[in-house]
Structure formats: C-alpha cells, structure tokens
C-alpha cells in the first residue's frame, strides 16, 4: 500500500501528462479536417477514356476512439486524486513546540495552508520598519508609542548693528558700517515619536515564526506518511458518461 507522500510525489506528473493529452484531443476534435475523410475514384465513360488515380483522406480521429482515450486518461487522474483525497481525510498530525503540543490532530491539508501563511507572515514581519537605533526610545504611557527625551535646538535671527571703523576727529566725522549678526531668538524643543518595531522584538517574532514553521513542516511530513488505500472510482463515472 502506498503512502500519502508517495501519492503526492507522483500526482503532479500524472496531472501534467493527462492535461496535456486532454488538451491535444480537445484541440484536435474541434478541427473538422481531422475528424472527416473521403475516398474518391474515377471511372472513364469509354474504355479508351482518360483515367485518374484515386484520391483519399484518412479520418485522423473518431469520436468513439477519442472518448475512449479521454476516459482512459482521466480515469488515471480521477483515481489518484481520489486516493489522495481519501487519504487526506485520515492524514493528521500534532504540531509540537519544545515538547508541548500546540495544535493537536491537524489535517494535512490545513498544515499545508498553515505553512504557506507562516511564510507570508515572515515576509510581512521582516519588512516592517524598525526603530531608529540612533535614538534612545522609551514607551509613552499616554499614546503607547515610543518616544525620545526632549532635545533643544536654538533658533537664531539675523540682526544688523553699526560698528565704528574710525572715530570722529576735528576734521572728519566718524566712519561706521552695518554688520549682520546671528542672535539667539529662542529654541525648538523636539520630542520624536515612533510606532516602528524595535529590532530585538522583530528578531524575536521572526524566530518564533521560523520555529513554528519548522514544527508545521515536521507535522506535515508525519501526516503525509499515512497509508493511502488505493481508490478506483472513475470507471463507474465514465461507464455512465460514455455508455452507448
């Protein structure tokens, strides 16, 4: 008796081969030239009249033969799929993490679904924005966000003032010049907030996802090692469908 994992290993190849043959037959039977033929011969009216060789075209496909091939081909696919699906009904395994059963008696089909979802989740978490490591963060109880301590940044404004180049004398007035200076006008106080994920938390989540994913893969292999009693159902289907 085959194992479910053995059935799964050959199912794809059978499906590909059967679908290819089915497609070829489907396309062929839509072409009248391949389904029809003729034989044409010439008889002169007089004994000494001209003669011509016979002409003919063979029928490439007959509906009866095509349907027999379709039934034979699809029977193989129908039966192996039935064998797989019947086996899947009893193929179950536990998902175990560190010796603790997290999920008990999980069907193989759900384990396959769960494995894909965990892969998608790993991609999702892996691409999440991380907290800027260049700042010190703490949780703000009021918002639940991360925040930094306030930082002050001075704001300046430009002010012009005169300076004396030469003092006044008895004969000349004082010489002055306007210069521009940056004068502190105030200061900005900045507090940065972030909802990004801390790098250690991301690493922790990805580690858990990987651990669970590995446990699911192990469980799937256990489930797929279940016996797969051979099912033969398709003959009844096609005996009914294509009966004379």
List pLDDT tens digits, range 86-117: 998 889 999 999 999 999 999 998 999 999 99
Interval 197-220 mean pLDDT = 96
Domain ranges of the chain: 1-39+52-91+228-244, 93-134+196-223, 150-190
CB 4 within 8 A of CB 225: yes
Per DSSP, helices labelled H in the chain are: 4-28, 32-35, 63-90, 108-126, 199-223, 234-241
Q: Which of 94, 96, 30, 92 is nearest to 61 (CA)?
A: 30
pLDDT of residue 80: 92
Query: Per-residue pLDDT for 1 more than 80?
Result: no
Cα angle: 27, vertex 33, 37; to 5 degrees = 135
Average pLDDT value for the chain: 90
Mean of pLDDT values over 169-192: 86
Distance of CA 129 to CAs 79, 103, 132, 244, Å? 50, 31, 9, 67
Q: Give the percent of the chain with pLDDT over 70.
A: 100
Tens-digit pLDDT profile for residues 41-93 = 988 888 888 888 988 888 787 888 888 889 999 999 999 999 988 998 889 99
| C-alpha to C-alpha distances, 102 to 62, 93, 211, nearest whole angstrom | 58, 11, 12
* Residue 202, pLDDT above cutoff 90: yes
């Amino acid at each position: 008796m085959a194992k479910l994992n053995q059935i799964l290993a050959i199912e794809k190849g059978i499906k590909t081969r059967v679908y290819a043959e089915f497609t070829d037959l489907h396309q062929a039977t839509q072409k009248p030239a391949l389904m029809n033929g003729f034989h044409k011969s010439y008889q002169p009216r007089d004994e000494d009249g001209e003669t011509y060789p016979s002409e003919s075209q063979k029928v490439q496909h007959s509906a009866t033969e095509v349907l027999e091939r379709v039934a034979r081909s699809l029977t193989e696919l129908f039966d192996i799929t039935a064998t797989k699906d019947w086996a899947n009904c009893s193929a179950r395994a536990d998902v175990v993490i560190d010796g603790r059963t997290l999920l008990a008696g999980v069907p193989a089909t759900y384990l396959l679904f769960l494995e894909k979802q965990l892969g998608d989740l790993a991609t999702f978490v892996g691409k999440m924005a991380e907290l800027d490591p260049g700042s010190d963060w703490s949780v703000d109880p009021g918002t639940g966000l991360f925040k930094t301590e306030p930082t002050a940044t001075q704001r300046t404004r430009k002010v012009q003032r005169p300076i004396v180049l030469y003092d006044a004398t008895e004969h000349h007035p004082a010489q002055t010049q306007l210069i521009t200076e940056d004068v502190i006008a105030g200061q900005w106080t900045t507090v940065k907030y972030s909802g990004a994920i801390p790098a250690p938390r991301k690493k922790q989540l990805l580690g858990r996802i990987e651990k669970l994913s590995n446990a699911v893969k192990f469980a799937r292999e256990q489930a797929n090692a279940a016996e797969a009693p051979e099912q033969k159902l398709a003959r009844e289907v096609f005996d009914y469908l294509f009966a004379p």
